[in-house]
């Protein structure tokens, strides 16, 4: 069966510090991968998605970037965090890039920027 992992689970970082969040998927090949951010009590905002190694699409301009160095690894990064980067970051995967596919979510990373 497929599983999706995210780490760390929680992170507290000072403003201006770098960020690296990791997401890995097991039990499937060539998944479509997604990074979402969720503000407290709000819906999900799609940040990036990837259909394959090295292929990243950005949905929202910001100081975050994403990379996919391996088929089942998706990384979210920042060189300098802002206060507004605080939130709950969710990674998800789907078999295809199609809205009829279920998206499977990881447990999330709670990021607090102070």
Residues of this chain that bind other proteins (CB under 8 A) = 36, 41-44, 46, 49, 88, 90, 92, 97-100, 102-108, 110
Nearer to other proteins, 65 or 105 (CB): 105
| Phi-psi map region of 79: left, alpha, beta (phi>0 left; psi -120 to 50 alpha) | alpha
Nearer to other proteins, 20 or 59 (CB): 59
Whole-angstrom distance, CA of residue 72 vs CA of residue 5: 10
- For residue 75, which of 9, 19, 12 has the smallest C-alpha distance? 19
Beta carbon of residue 75, minimum distance to other proteins (angstroms, whole number) = 18
Beta carbon of residue 47, minimum distance to other proteins (angstroms, whole number) = 12
């Amino acid at each position: 069966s497929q599983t999706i992992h995210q780490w760390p689970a929680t992170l507290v970082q000072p403003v201006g510090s770098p960020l690296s969040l990791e997401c890995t998927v097991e039990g499937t090949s060539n998944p479509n991968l997604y990074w979402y951010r969720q503000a407290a009590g709000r819906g999900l905002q799609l940040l990036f998605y990837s259909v394959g190694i090295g292929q990243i699409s950005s949905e929202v301009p910001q100081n975050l970037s994403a990379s996919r160095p391996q088929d089942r690894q998706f990384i979210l990064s920042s060189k300098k965090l802002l206060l507004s980067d605080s939130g709950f970051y969710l990674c998800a995967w789907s078999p295809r890039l199609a809205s009829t596919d279920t998206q499977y979510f990881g447990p999330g990373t709670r990021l607090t920027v102070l």
